[in-house]
Amino acid sequence: MGYLKYNYKDLKNLCNTSFKEFGFNSEESETITEVLLLSDLFGIESHGVQRLVRYYNGIKNGIMKVDAEIETVHETLVSAVLDAHGAMGQIVGKKAMEMAIEKAKVTGMGMVTVRNSNHYGIAGYYARMAEQEGLLGMSMTNTEAITVPTFGREAMMGSNPIAISMPAEPYPFLLDMSTSVVTRGKVEIYNKRKEPLPIGWTLDGDGKDTDNAKDVLYNIINKIGGGIVPLGGSGEGFSGHKGYGLAAAVDMFTGIFSGGITSNHINGGKASGTCHFFFAVDYGIFGDKDTIKNNMSKYLTELRESKKAVGATRIYTHGEKEIEAYKDRIENGILVNENTLKEIEDMCNYLDIKVSDYLTEIK
């Protein structure tokens, strides 16, 4: 199966309309769509429109609740705990980071953790919210268990990403990384393409290397065993135990601190239970803000201009590739896998929406 290219604004209109048809108001639909498509604009296919089928099924099955009321269950000057009560992750995620930002502007830092939520898209979206307000931002989320602990053969942690963003010139710093070697979404893409996985990404039910994306996904969904290896790989030879530790730390910040649940208890049943963590810091608490930002900009420039490996022409800093991808996709369109388009068409048929009224392929 190949790829088709569509205009960003057309995809945005289709997504907005779809979420409104599901019952979300205009602001909520805009938020979900914005997070979803920022992923595609950044070149992160795994978390873009290919995630629509997950939201379609989650909303239809009552896991993601259209009318959820987000509740503040604990709050201090610098912190808060929110209960999402099954809300869409993007909606509660944006609200939580806005709270963290406001607290940081008053006290110097703000931390908000969330329980009983759902998939919230790319973690970098929320870290970037703080960066765009002149703050340092951080976000984490746990997910349904897909990652196998070092020396194990049972998925116990999620992809459990960590994102950090800091203002700088000419590009802000934006690190957005899973604590697993790859995300489940990347395995789903390989399955759609009917391509073998690279050896070293995933394990079968016995804890052995496998390249079969379909089997890996089946085993994860049915909790048969195996899954994705931690960042660094299986075993300790390339420090897989460090990725394992980072994944566990994310569960601490999200599931434990919120009073929610850890990745191994999240499932695709009647409720997700996903938990998030948001952190905003006014780095002016450490000194003059302009000086700190200038020092960060200088450091990133020194990294980019440092000596390159033989045959290499460029060194990137984190966030640079995403900015370039964003500019290209805004101007030239977004590639959508044909299998993903079929999933979008199925969703639109359910909502009585004609895809052809919104999308015209860019040749």
Domain regions of the chain by residue span: 1-60+340-363, 67-181+232-332, 182-228
- For the segment 277-304, the average pLDDT, to the nearest whole number, is 98
CATH class for the domain made up of 182-228: alpha beta
Looking at 104-108, 188-192, 197-201, 245-249, which range is the least confident one? 188-192
Give the whole-angstrom CA distance, residue 177 versus residue 159.
Answer: 9
With the C-alpha atoms ordered 302, 307, 313, 315, is the resulting torsion angle positive or negative?
A: negative
- Kindly state the DSSP code that residue 330 receives in the 8-state scheme: H
Q: Please give the angle made by the CA atoms of 293, 330 and 21, to the nearest 5 degrees.
A: 110
Task: Decide: 144 and 268 in contact? Cβ < 8 Å.
Answer: yes
Give the whole-angstrom CA distance, residue 82 versus residue 218.
Answer: 33
Q: Residue 1: its pLDDT value, please?
A: 61
Q: Residue 268: its pLDDT value, please?
A: 61
For 24-47, the pLDDT digits (tens) are 999 999 999 999 999 999 999 989
Task: Decide: 149 and 230 in contact? Cβ < 8 Å.
Answer: yes
In the chain, what percentage of residues exceed pLDDT 90? 94
For 217-248, the pLDDT digits (tens) are 999 989 899 999 999 999 999 999 999 999 99
Pick the CATH number of 67-181+232-332 from 3.20.20.140, 3.40.50.2000, 3.40.50.970, 3.30.1370.60: 3.30.1370.60
The model carries a pTM of 0.95
pLDDT band at 270 (very low <50, low <70, confident <90, very high): low
Asked if the domains at 67-181+232-332 and 182-228 fall in one CATH topology, the answer is no
Give the distance from CA 38 to its chain's centroid.
Answer: 10
- For the segment 114-141, the average pLDDT, to the nearest whole number, is 98
pLDDT band at 263 (very low <50, low <70, confident <90, very high): very high
In the chain, what percentage of residues exceed pLDDT 70? 99
Which of 119, 59, 40 is closest to 333 using CA atoms?
40
For 41-76, the pLDDT digits (tens) are 999 998 999 999 999 999 999 999 999 999 999 999
Which segments of the chain does DSSP mark as H helices, in order?
A: 8-22, 26-41, 52-60, 89-107, 123-131, 184-193, 213-221, 240-251, 289-304, 320-332, 338-351
Pick the CATH number of 1-60+340-363 from 1.10.530.10, 3.40.50.10490, 1.10.1530.10, 1.10.1740.10: 1.10.1530.10
- Kindly state the DSSP code that residue 109 receives in the 8-state scheme: E
Task: Decide: 120 and 94 in contact? Cβ < 8 Å.
Answer: no
- For the segment 306-313, the average pLDDT, to the nearest whole number, is 98
Write the single-letter amino acid at 349.
N
